[in-house]
Amino acid sequence: MAASISTNVLDHIVHLTSPGSVEATSEQFRKLGFNVIPGGTHSDGLTTNALVVFKDGIYLELICFTHPPSHYPPGSPARHKRDTNRWASKPLGWIDFAFLGNGSLISPRISDIINDRAKQDGTDVKYMPEQAGGRRRPDGQELKWVISAPEAEKGGTLPFFCGDVTPREWRVPGDPPSNTEHPSTARGIAHVCILTSAQTLTSVSRELTSVVGEVPATATDVEVFWILGTVYGGDRDGPKLILSSPKDEDEASFVGNVGTGIYEVAFTVDHDRGGTGATPYGRIVWTPLE
């Protein structure tokens, strides 16, 4: 059973902005040419989000904390929950990415599959026991899922897994079709690029291989990439997950300030737009369809 469970389907990419900024961020992404739809408030009450959904089934989660830490009384349980949230100390911008899970709190669990694989591979990957999660949409619909996440220090380098308990289309509303139509003509994700130092490239590559479950499609001394799956496949290759060491001063500065993390996200577009751009805190690339 476990061998048949895929661990390489890209589900969504997380973009963090300052507390209480979900509406402002939504407007900024609309100005970039994305159709942004409301998301809702997560079950712990700490975060709220909006969504950008693509035809390939992948989406962007535009997330922010509901309140800054100072909103919660020092020493209170609520303050502890806020301070220990997996994203509490992340710099703003592209902070994490998720693969599609299987929604199971019992066997077969994604964490068991990956931890067993990592043990066989001899890597330091460790996924924590599954946790239930959820979100309430603005229309009142309650969504439920299961999260399989790596140890906190690996978050944003290794993906977490989101497996639906309620139907995925509740979480990722591709209907009506207009939800996935964007003024920028963005159709889906071309790549997610993670930067790491030259010294850690090999070890991080081995860890990602343990998670993805496949050897890289291409590997050099400075860059490695895998071809990921999508929820709605099709006759085109899926998005690339790129792991690279810095190639210029901007990339070296990112690694110096952030460490290992998501440097940029690329979107496939219908026309010869090309070039690069920026979200409020992150880098984007427009990749014309061939």
DSSP class of residue 9 equals B
Instruction: Give me 5's structure tokens.
Output: 């469970």
Instruction: Give me 8's structure tokens.
Output: 């390489």
By the 8 A CB rule, do 267 and 186 touch? yes
> Which domains, from first to last, does the chain contain?
2-171 (3.10.180.10), 184-288 (2.60.40.4320)
pLDDT per residue as tens digits for the range 11-37: 999 999 999 999 999 999 999 999 999
The pTM assigned to this predicted structure is: 0.95
What pLDDT was estimated at residue 1?
40
pLDDT per residue as tens digits for the range 171-226: 999 999 999 999 999 999 999 999 999 999 999 999 999 999 999 999 999 999 99
CA angle 214, 220, 225 (to 5 degrees): 40
Query: What is the pLDDT of the chain when averaged over all its residues?
Result: 94
Strand arrangement of the beta sheet that strand 218-219 belongs to:
218-219, 223-227, 240-244, 186-195, 261-269, 283-288, 276-278
pLDDT per residue as tens digits for the range 218-267: 999 999 999 999 998 765 689 999 999 999 999 999 999 999 999 999 99
